Amino acid sequence: MRVISRKNLRQFWEKHPDARQVLQAWYIDVKHANWNKPSDIRSVYQTASFLSNNRVVFNIRGNTYRVIVVVLYKHRQVYIRFVGTHKEYDRINAETI
């Protein structure tokens, strides 16, 4: 999958160094993934949440952090829409961000 944009992850782990290793591992996993449908994601990330508008929420580092992406399966693209703490996640609308 093509992940757009890794910069969002890097900016986040610069503020939260404890997230660096897990976000880098998540990025590599997604980059090498071949997702054609939500069940492909679910088979690897059992705790992922699926929302409307092709949004997927990933729990990172024991649910301390959240990553929201938009997955365009047909185009093999994953757009990072949000990277934040669980508290920051609670203040946004994950379906529209």
Tell me the C-alpha distance between 41 and 33, whole Å: 9
CATH number at residue 80: 3.30.2310.20
In a domain, 96, yes or no: no
Summarised one tens digit per residue, pLDDT across range 46-92 is 999 999 999 999 999 888 999 999 999 999 999 999 999 989 999 99
In a domain, 82, yes or no: yes
**Strand pairing report for 77-85 and 2-4:** parallel
What domain range is 81 assigned to? 2-89
Does position 5 have pLDDT exceeding 90, yes or no? no
Q: Quick one: angle between helices 6-15 and 20-31, nearest 10?
A: 170
For the sheet containing 2-4, what is the strand order?
2-4, 77-85, 65-72, 55-60, 49-50
* Stated pTM of the model: 0.93
